[in-house]
């Protein structure tokens, strides 16, 4: 589908600027390629003491600016880059600034788990607003209520359409069951299962101690079925590996897993590689490491087209939700 990103005013000049931070440059380049415009010229570097320095090296006055930056590892460095990029654009008189955050870091700290603890997801939202963002565009927030932490328009995209297309092309839907690895992910699993018209099952997970997970029970019929686990974040990999083992012990023929954000910290890649999972499929919301790319049973799906289309519709003041419903 050809797109014209030229504005009606400004003598036919471009009214959209795509600015990339350092957290996921390849994704930003792929989005710019989809939109058929170059990335805005900018410099994001570190001083000797590791302070962040940003310079926007072209005119953005009156432009619709989109800053593409995941707040993934190293989360604090990438968050500071995002905030300083927004501030630089604001001080350069950009007409509107949209923070495009494919992976929203600190999202798992969305409530007080005990006394005298912070709600860091809310603090990050405050920082982004205060820096000067006018809108936020993110994907598969760990907790939907984080949208309410912002007092500016916030679009939470879903990777489900990209996953559904890949599932149908690679595995088909015959004899398939979508599985939630825990009770909290049932809504996500049900939504994807509805798109491909297959049943769902649930793994009842209990944590014996912090940082460890154990699958205790499988709710639903998985015997003789091909199972697809669905989750929003894979970090240590323990939950999905244990879920895969439980499903296979209950008679599943094979287990695949689709996850939006591949955090994959610590020994997660090795854990996945040595597991009984046929495939772990993640998106490029977080820049895949060399270890991830070299692992035989991990694949990466691009969300550049989805994000690019959402950016285009935002710039044109068109509906973004119609991408999913």
* Mean pLDDT computed over 27-33: 96
Sheet holding 154-157, edge to edge: 16-20, 64-68, 96-101, 135-139, 154-157
pLDDT range class, residue 208, cuts 50, 70, 90: low
Q: Which one of the listed residues 17, 122, 205, 225 is annotated catalytic?
A: 205
Tell me: pLDDT of 197 over 80. yes
Tell me: pLDDT of 67 over 70. yes
pLDDT range class, residue 204, cuts 50, 70, 90: confident
Which residues partner with 298 through β-bridges?
280
Residue 17 a catalytic site member: no
* Mean pLDDT computed over 288-296: 94
Taking only the tens place, the pLDDT of each residue in 229-284 is 999 999 999 989 989 999 999 999 999 999 999 999 989 999 999 999 999 999 99
Domains and CATH numbers, the chain: 10-157+305-323 (3.40.50.2020), 160-302 (3.40.50.2020)
Taking only the tens place, the pLDDT of each residue in 100-143 is 999 999 999 999 989 999 999 999 999 999 999 999 999 999 98
HSE at residue 116, side-chain half, CA atoms within 13 A, is: 0
Mean pLDDT of all residues belonging to the chain = 91
Give residue 144's pLDDT: 86
pTM of the model: 0.90
Tell me: pLDDT of 2 over 60. no
User: Which residues, including other chains, have CB under 8 Å from residue 249's CB and lie 6 or more apart?
Assistant: none
Beta-sheet strands, E only, within the chain: 16-20, 42-46, 52-56, 64-68, 96-101, 135-139, 154-157, 176-180, 200-206, 214-219, 226-234, 254-262, 279-283, 298-301
Q: For residues 303 and 163, what is the distance between their CA atoms, to the nearest angstrom?
A: 10
Give the dihedral of Cα atoms 53, 57, 63, 68; nearest 10 deg. Answer: -50
Tell me: pLDDT of 212 over 90. no
pLDDT range class, residue 162, cuts 50, 70, 90: very high
In eight-state DSSP terms, residue 289 is P
């Amino acid at each position: 589908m050809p797109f014209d990103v030229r504005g009606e005013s400004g003598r036919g000049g471009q009214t959209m600027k795509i600015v990339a931070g350092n957290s996921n440059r390849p994704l930003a380049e792929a989005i710019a390629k989809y939109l058929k415009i170059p990335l805005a010229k900018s410099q994001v570097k570190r001083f000797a003491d590791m302070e962040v320095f940003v310079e926007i090296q072209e005119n953005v006055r009156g432009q619709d600016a989109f800053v593409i930056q995941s707040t993934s590892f190293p989360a604090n460095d990438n968050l500071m880059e995002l905030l300083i990029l927004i501030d630089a654009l604001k001080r350069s008189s950009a007409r509107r600034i949209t923070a495009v955050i494919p992976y929203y870091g600190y999202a798992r700290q969305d409530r007080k788990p005990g006394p005298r603890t912070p709600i860091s997801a809310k603090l990050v939202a405050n920082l982004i607003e205060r820096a000067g963002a006018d809108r936020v565009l993110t994907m598969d927030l760990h907790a939907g209520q984080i949208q309410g932490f912002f007092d500016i328009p916030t679009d939470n995209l879903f990777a489900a359409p990209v996953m559904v297309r890949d599932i149908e092309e690679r595995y088909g839907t015959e004899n398939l069951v979508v599985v939630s690895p825990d009770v909290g992910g049932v809504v996500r699993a049900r939504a994807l299962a509805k798109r491909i018209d297959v049943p769902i099952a649930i793994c009842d997970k209990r944590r014996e101690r912090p940082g460890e997970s154990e699958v205790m029970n499988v709710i639903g019929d998985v015997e003789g079925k091909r199972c697809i686990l669905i989750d929003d974040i894979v970090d240590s990999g323990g939950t999905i590996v244990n879920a895969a083992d439980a499903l296979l012990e209950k008679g599943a023929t094979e287990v695949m897993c689709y996850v939006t954000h591949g955090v994959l910290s610590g020994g997660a890649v090795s854990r996945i590689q040595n597991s009984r999972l046929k495939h772990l499929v993640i998106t490029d919301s977080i820049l895949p490491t060399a270890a991830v790319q070299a692992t035989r049973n991990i694949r990466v799906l691009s969300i550049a087209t989805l994000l690019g289309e959402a950016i285009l519709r935002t710039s044109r003041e068109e509906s973004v939700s119609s991408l999913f419903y």
